[in-house]
Amino acid sequence: MTEFAGARVLVTGGAGFIGKRLVAALLDEKAEVVVADLRPHPDPAVRSIVGDLCDPAVRDTVVEHGIDGIVHLAAVTSVLRSVEDPVATHELNVEATAGLLELARVREVPRFVLASTNAVTGDVGSATISERLPLRPLTPYGATKAATEMLLSAYSAVYGMKAGALRFANVYGPGMRHKDSFVPRLMRAAAADAGVQVYGDGSQLRDYVHVDDVVQAILLAWRTGLAEPMIVGSGTSVSVNDLIDAARQVTGKPIPVTHVPAKQGEMPAVVLDISAARALGYQPLHDLASGMATVWPDFMASQGEGDAA
Ligand code: NAD
C-alpha cells in the first residue's frame, strides 16, 4: 500500500496527453481518480466530469468536499493559440485556475499541483535555467503560467496549502498523437514517408522529457507536499538534429529535412538545471533513445483513432 491508496485526486485535463498517463499511474497506486475535462476520459471505468472549467458552476461541481488534492493540467497549451487569443488564454489559464484554487482553500483541499512551463523564464540565451532566475515570459502562454505560479505562492504562504508548480520541459511519449509539437510531427512525417521543416540549422538545444518521468515528478510533488516551483526535465539537452536522428532510428524512415528561416524569438538553447528535483528524489529514467522507442509503436497502434488516441 502506498500513500495514494484511497486518496481522492481530481485531475483536470485528465483526458489529455499527460493526464491519461497520470491517471493510469494513479490508478496503479490505487488512488480514487476523478477527471475534469472538456471530453470524457477514454476509459469508461474512470469517473469523468465533462465540462468547461471556465464555467464557475463546473468548477463548483468538480472540487468536491473531502478530496485530497488537485492536479491541474487543463490549460490552453499552445503558444500559438495563446498569441492569437490572449483573452481566452487568460480566462482558462489564470481565471479558472484562480477559481479552482479558491474553492480548494474554502473546501480545505490540502494539495494543488499545477502544470507550469519553463517558458515562464523567457529567453536567457545559452545560460542554464534554474528556479532562481527572474520570470520574464515572452508569450501570453508563458505569462499566464507565471501569473498562476504567483497565485500558488500566495496560497502556500498565507493559507498553508501545499501548492507547487512543476515547470515541464518539452514533454514527449506515448499518447501524443493529437498534439502539434515536433515529436508527433516527426512521427506523422515518418508514417507518410514525408519530411519535416526545421527552423534554422537544427543545432538549437532543447530538453525533451519523457511523459513517464513527468508523471513520476507529479507523484513526487504530491508525496512531498511541494509548495514552490520546480523544473522537471530530462536534465540533458539535445539538438533538434539529434532528435530527428533518434526519430529516424526508431522509425527506420529517412525523414528528409527542409531548413527554413528561424522564427523571431526562437531560443538558441534550453538547458535546464534539474538539481532541485533530483534533491527531492526525482530520477529521470528515459534518455532520448529509450524514450523515442516508446513513441513510434504507440503512434502506429493509434493510427486512425483520431483525437481520442
Ligand atoms: P493536452 O492538450 O493533451 O491536454 C489538456 C487537456 O485539457 C485536454 O484533454 C483538454 O480537453 C483539457 N481542457 C482544455 N481546455 C479545457 C477547459 N476549458 N475545461 C476543461 N478541460 C479543458 O495537453 P498536455 O500536453 O497533456 O498538457 C498538460 C499540461 O501540461 C498543460 O497545463 C500544459 O500547459 C502543461 N505543459 C505541457 C507541456 C508539453 O510539452 N506537453 C510542456 C509544459 C507544460
**CATH code given to domain 8-171+209-232:** 3.40.50.720
The yes-or-no answer on residue 199 being catalytic is: no
- Residues with Cβ within 8 Å of 90's Cβ and at least 6 positions away in sequence, in order, are 140, 144
52 CA to centre of ligand 1 in angstroms? 13
Query: Would you call 242 helix, strand, or coil by DSSP?
Result: helix
C-beta separation of 100 from 58 below 8 A: no
| pLDDT, mean of residues 107-129 | 95
Reported as a pLDDT band with limits 50, 70 and 90, residue 262 is confident
How far, in Å, from the CA of 188 to the mean position of ligand 1?
Answer: 21
- The Cα 73–Cα 65 span in angstroms is 20
- Per-residue pLDDT at 41: 97
> Could you tell which of 18, 60, 185 is best to mutate to test the pocket of ligand 1, judged by most ligand atoms within 8 Å of the CB?
18
Q: Whose CA is nearest to atom 9 of ligand 1?
A: 16
Q: Where are the domains of the chain?
A: 8-171+209-232, 173-206+236-300
Q: Which of 63, 13, 10 is nearest to 222 (CA)?
A: 10
C-alpha span between 219 and 221 (Å, rounded): 5
Among protein residues, the one whose CA lies closest to atom 11 of ligand 1: 38
Q: What is the mean predicted confidence (pLDDT) over 72-86? A: 95
C-beta of residue 103 within 8 angstroms of C-beta of residue 60 = yes
In the structure, what pLDDT confidence band is assigned to residue 307 with cuts at 50, 70 and 90?
Answer: very low
CATH code of the domain occupying 173-206+236-300: 3.90.25.10
**CA dihedral in degrees (67, 69, 74, 75; nearest 10)?**
130
CA atoms within 13 A on the CB side of 141: 18
Low-confidence winner among 17-31, 130-144, 162-176, 294-308 (lowest mean pLDDT): 294-308
Task: Kindly report, residue by residue over 221-236, the tens digit of the pLDDT.
Answer: 999 999 999 999 999 9
Are 155 and 163 within 8 A, CB to CB?
A: yes
Looking from the CA of residue 19, the nearest atom of ligand 1 is 26
Minimum-distance ligand 1 atom for the alpha carbon of 172:
40
Å from CA of 76 to ligand 1 middle: 6
Chain mean pLDDT for the chain: 95
Q: Which amino acid is at 7?
A: A
Options 141, 155, 172, 282, the catalytic residue: 141
**Residue 267 confidence (pLDDT) above 90:** no
Work out the percent of the chain whose per-residue pLDDT is above 90.
91
Q: Which residues pair with 271 in a beta bridge?
A: 128
pLDDT value of residue 2: 78
Q: How far is the CA of 31 from the centre of ligand 1 (A)?
A: 21
% of the chain residues with pLDDT over 70: 97
For every residue of 212-226, which 3-state class applies, written as one string? HHHHHHHHHHHHHCC
Q: What distance in angstroms lies between residue 65's CA and the mean position of ligand 1's atoms?
A: 24
Atom number, ligand 1, closest to the C-alpha of residue 72: 32
Residue 309 has pLDDT above 60, yes or no: no
Domain 8-171+209-232 identical in fold to domain 173-206+236-300: no
How far apart are alpha carbons 196 and 291 in whole angstroms? 20
Pocket around ligand 1 at a 6 A CB cut-off = 13, 15-19, 37-39, 52-54, 73-75, 77, 92, 115, 117, 168, 170-171
Structure-block grid coordinates of residue 98: 484562480
Residue identified by cell 532510428 is 249
Beta bridge partners of residue 12, listed in sequence order: 36, 72
Atom of ligand 1 nearest to the CA of 37: 21
Q: How far is the CA of 16 from the centre of ligand 1 (A)?
A: 6
Per-residue pLDDT tens over the stretch 184-219: 999 999 999 999 999 999 999 999 999 999 999 999
Closest C-alpha residue for ligand 1 atom 35: 115
